[in-house]
Amino acid sequence: MLTTNTPEWSLLVFLGPLPGEVLPLGLTLQIRDADSVLTQQTVAAGSEATYLYAQVLGTWEESFTLDILPPEGGTPLTLPAFGFQPDA
């Protein structure tokens, strides 16, 4: 196991439908940093998933942007960046 003295934090995101609804096929949950997409989950045909989830780890200085991409090229929803705030 690799150990480091650099403090880290974790972002865990769940995306689910409204009660009584289902997530549409092709809906994508994506988390990215300043340079690239770190993880991406998509509702696929034949999937029995009732929600999407993703987790990323970063140093205290890193922030992550969450995108929700609707199927078939709809307008994406981008949330403000998430960052570690030890004094908040």
pLDDT in tens, 2-59: 667 888 999 999 999 999 999 999 999 999 999 999 999 999 998 888 999 999 999 9
- What does the CA dihedral 80, 82, 84, 87 come to, rounded to 10 degrees? 40
pLDDT score of 1: 57
d(CA 74, CA 43): 15
- Asked if residues 61 and 41 have their Cβ atoms less than 8 Å apart, the reply is no
pLDDT band at 87 (very low <50, low <70, confident <90, very high): confident
